[in-house]
């Protein structure tokens, strides 16, 4: 075979593989869009019932056509605190079963001539293009995307198969697969490396099936390569867990342990079978459908075998990645970019993170007032330190919200995100006012000044009303409750009245020389800051009451 033929084969195979990958990705994206909120509903049924987790994992993977993507999603959910490790085990097991759907799609061509890639590919591509370009309903366009993805996948498969046909006559290629079949470790290593490089077991199984159409792959090498492919697919989740929480790393480790243990057990069984029980089968060429069967049997049986030992997998992952979680207040605890793939979850967690930021701001107001009323210098430093954390969270949350707003979300979710942009800004301003109060406390302590008893009582009264208003506004956001939001509004009006009354009284005290001018300025500035805090609390409550508030692109850009 001359050099030009080798180049032709390489280009044909690589081009086909590129189309196959594109088709698989495009089809999965269409399926996910068509599924919409059903993704959230599927994961919403997760409890500590591991069996449900297996079904959900299989269902989601069948939808998005990638166990790697599902596992990465699981890592993101665990990292964001949406899912426990116990729940993650079942989903990971199910994901391995769901990923076999691609192999069965590829195998369709062996069943009847109508389902051959060369026949189905052009039909699906034409139909998909027509539906995508001319359909008015979004749902029909999504179905068109799925159909077009099928066509591209089949076209890529047909190109790979055609490119591999000339290799049928080459004894060197057949000998290579014989070597892989005779050496289980080498076969597993090749399968793992190829899958790790392309980061998709579905795609690497598709390559194997394309080579099988040219009768190049014997049974023994196919099985060892498939086992390696199941190990190699873990690399995506492992890479995804870098920089994530320890529990997220443990979820990736569970995925690896599950596939590694299963592959080792099956490799031993296969080795014994080919050497002692059915030695002649090892050299027989495997068919495309038989690869699908082997791939499915491995994942189903592996799940059945290891399902009762899910707790052991969690224990091993915790032992390998030891230590507790170190919660850093300045880091985003509920947000993870991996879960933007399921926007409904991402929006829910964005609300949680904003409320957490609000709780820190509330804590800072209380600490600042404690520093002022009780003249505690150590509390002032605590306020300054926490204010830096609040500013960090503002930047991180806004960055996340911008990304989330650019993902495919519903009108309601867009409205929630718009409200969150405003709320984050208001919370940050509350933090600024807490810092202002801490600075006023610093003046009192530095100049050794005191406030009168009546001033103390008035500050306590307006402070309690302002904090209650802020607490209710945060609760309204946390639960999306308009009733709670409405309760915050009268408190804001009460703070306004108190601020006006106390200001008049204090100016009168100053005129009568009942307190020093510096103490008087501290008092007046403090009630002014508390009044502004209640105003921001009112704004936060209004984002729940006024769901149609819009946010301009300029505001979104500026807030980041």
Greatest mean pLDDT among 73-87, 118-132, 218-232, 315-329 lies in: 218-232
| Residue 135 Rama label (left phi>0; alpha psi -120 to 50; beta) | beta
Do 34 and 160 share a structural domain? yes
Tell me which H or E stretch contains 295.
helix 288-306
- Is residue 55 situated within a structural domain? yes
Sequence-distant (6+) residues with CB within 8 A of 282 are 181, 218, 219, 220, 274
- Is residue 396 situated within a structural domain? yes
- Please tell me which residue, 74 or 296, carries the higher pLDDT value: 296
Q: Is the pLDDT of residue 541 over 80?
A: yes
Last residue of a domain, one of 320, 354, 371: 320
Contact 157, 20 (CB under 8 A): yes
- Please tell me which residue, 557 or 467, carries the higher pLDDT value: 467
SS3 readout for 390-435: HHHHHHHHHHHHHHHHCCCCCHHHHHHHHHHHHHHHHHHHHHHHHH
Greatest mean pLDDT among 97-106, 148-157, 371-380 lies in: 371-380
Range of the domain at 298: 3-320
Do 386 and 267 share a structural domain? no
Q: Is the pLDDT of residue 326 over 60?
A: no
Do 316 and 361 share a structural domain? no
Greatest mean pLDDT among 61-65, 155-159, 169-173, 494-498 lies in: 494-498
Tell me the two tokens of residue 273: 């079978």
Do 351 and 295 share a structural domain? no
Last residue of a domain, one of 285, 320, 355: 320
**8-37 pLDDT, tens digit each:** 777 887 888 788 778 777 776 676 666 555
Do 406 and 546 share a structural domain? yes
- Please tell me which residue, 504 or 110, carries the higher pLDDT value: 504
Q: Average pLDDT of 52-77?
A: 76
CATH number at residue 438: 1.20.58.220
What is the pLDDT confidence band of residue 330, given thresholds at 50, 70 and 90? Answer: low
**What mean pLDDT is reported for the chain?**
81
Distance (Å, rounded) from C-alpha 560 to C-alpha 557? 6
Q: Is the pLDDT of residue 383 over 90?
A: yes
Q: Average pLDDT of 203-223?
A: 82
Distance (Å, rounded) from C-alpha 46 to C-alpha 313? 19
- Is residue 328 situated within a structural domain? no
Contact 332, 397 (CB under 8 A): yes
Contact 191, 227 (CB under 8 A): yes
Candidates 93, 120, 91; CA nearest to 105 is: 120
- Is residue 193 situated within a structural domain? yes
Distance (Å, rounded) from C-alpha 517 to C-alpha 506? 11
**pLDDT, position 555:** 40
Distance (Å, rounded) from C-alpha 428 to C-alpha 391? 7
**467-509 pLDDT, tens digit each:** 999 999 999 988 888 899 999 999 999 999 999 998 898 888 7
- Please tell me which residue, 239 or 479, carries the higher pLDDT value: 479
Do 426 and 307 share a structural domain? no
What string of DSSP letters covers 209-242?
HHHHTTT--BHHHHHHHHHHHHHHTHHHHHHHTT
Do 348 and 299 share a structural domain? no
Distance (Å, rounded) from C-alpha 225 to C-alpha 210? 14
Give the pTM.
Answer: 0.65
Q: Is the pLDDT of residue 529 over 90?
A: yes
- Is residue 409 situated within a structural domain? yes
Contact 361, 329 (CB under 8 A): no
Tell me the two tokens of residue 285: 């060429």
Mean pLDDT lowest among 176-180, 282-286, 414-418: 176-180
Q: Average pLDDT of 342-348?
A: 76
Greatest mean pLDDT among 3-12, 44-53, 88-97, 356-365 lies in: 356-365
What is the pLDDT confidence band of residue 207, given thresholds at 50, 70 and 90? Answer: confident
Q: Average pLDDT of 339-351?
A: 78
CA Rg value for the chain: 31
- Is residue 421 situated within a structural domain? yes
- Please tell me which residue, 428 or 25, carries the higher pLDDT value: 428
The total domain count for the chain is: 2
**pLDDT, position 116:** 66
Q: Average pLDDT of 147-174?
A: 72
- Please tell me which residue, 153 or 455, carries the higher pLDDT value: 455
Q: Is the pLDDT of residue 409 over 80?
A: no
- Is residue 326 situated within a structural domain? no
**pLDDT, position 560:** 31
**pLDDT, position 36:** 54
Tell me the two tokens of residue 456: 């103390």
Q: Is the pLDDT of residue 550 over 60?
A: no
Do 413 and 302 share a structural domain? no
Do 227 and 351 share a structural domain? no
- Is residue 74 situated within a structural domain? yes
User: What percent of the chain clears pLDDT 70, i.e. is strictly above it?
Assistant: 83
């Amino acid at each position: 075979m001359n050099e030009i033929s080798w180049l032709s084969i390489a280009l044909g195979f690589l081009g086909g593989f590129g189309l196959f990958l594109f088709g698989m990705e495009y089809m999965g994206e269409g399926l996910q869009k068509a599924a919409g909120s059903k993704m959230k509903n599927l994961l919403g049924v997760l409890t500590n019932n591991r069996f449900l987790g297996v079904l959900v994992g299989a269902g989601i993977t069948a939808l998005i056509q990638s166990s790697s993507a599902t596992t990465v999603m699981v890592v993101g959910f665990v990292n964001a605190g949406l899912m426990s490790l116990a729940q993650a085990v079942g989903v990971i097991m199910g994901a391995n079963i769901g990923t076999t759907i691609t192999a069965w799609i590829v195998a369709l061509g062996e069943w009847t001539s109508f389902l051959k890639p060369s026949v189905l590919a052009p039909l699906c591509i034409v139909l998909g293009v027509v539906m995508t370009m001319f359909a008015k309903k979004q749902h029909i366009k999504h179905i068109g995307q799925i159909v077009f993805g099928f066509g591209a996948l089949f076209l890529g498969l047909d190109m790979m198969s055609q490119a591999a046909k000339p290799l049928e006559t080459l004894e060197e290629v057949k000998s290579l697969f014989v070597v892989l079949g005779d050496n289980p470790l080498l076969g597993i290593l090749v399968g793992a490396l190829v899958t790790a490089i392309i980061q998709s077991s579905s795609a690497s199984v598709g390559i194997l099936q394309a080579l099988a159409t040219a009768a190049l792959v014997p049974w023994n090498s196919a099985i060892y390569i498939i086992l390696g492919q199941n190990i190699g697919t873990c690399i995506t989740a492992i890479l995804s867990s870098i920089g994530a929480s320890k529990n997220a790393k443990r979820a990736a480790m569970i995925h690896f342990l599950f596939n590694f243990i299963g592959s080792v057990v099956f490799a031993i069984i296969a080795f014994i079978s080919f050497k002692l029980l059915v030695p002649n089968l090892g050299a027989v060429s495997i068919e495309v459908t038989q690869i699908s069967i082997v791939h499915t049997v491995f994942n189903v049986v592996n799940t059945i075998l290891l399902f009762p030992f899910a707790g052991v997998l969690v224990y091993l992952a915790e032992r390998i990645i030891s230590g507790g979680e170190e919660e850093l207040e300045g880091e985003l605890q509920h947000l993870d970019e991996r879960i933007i793939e399921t926007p409904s979850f991402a929006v829910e967690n964005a609300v949680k993170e904003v409320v957490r930021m609000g709780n820190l701001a509330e804590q800072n107001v209380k600490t600042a007032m404690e520093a002022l009323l009780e003249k505690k210098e150590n509390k002032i430093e605590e306020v300054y330190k926490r204010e830096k954390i609040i500013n960090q969270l503002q930047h991180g949350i806004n960055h996340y919200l911008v990304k989330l707003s650019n993902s495919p979300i519903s009108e309601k979710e867009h409205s929630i995100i718009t409200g969150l942009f405003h709320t984050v800004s208001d919370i940050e301003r509350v933090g600024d006012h807490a810092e202002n109060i801490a600075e006023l406390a610093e003046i009192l302590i530095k100049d050794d000044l005191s406030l009168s008893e009546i001033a103390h009582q008035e500050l306590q009264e307006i402070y309690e009303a302002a904090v209650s208003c802020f607490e209710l506004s945060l609760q309204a956001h946390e639960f999306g409750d308009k009733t709670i939001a409405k309760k915050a509004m009268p408190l804001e009006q009460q703070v306004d009245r108190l601020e006006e009354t106390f200001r008049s009284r204090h100016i009168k005290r100053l005129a009568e020389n009942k307190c020093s001018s510096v103490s008087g300025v501290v008092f007046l500035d403090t009630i002014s800051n508390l009044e502004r805090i209640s105003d921001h609390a009112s704004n936060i409550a209004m984002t729940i009451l006024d769901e149609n508030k819009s946010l301009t692109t300029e505001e979104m850009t500026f807030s980041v």
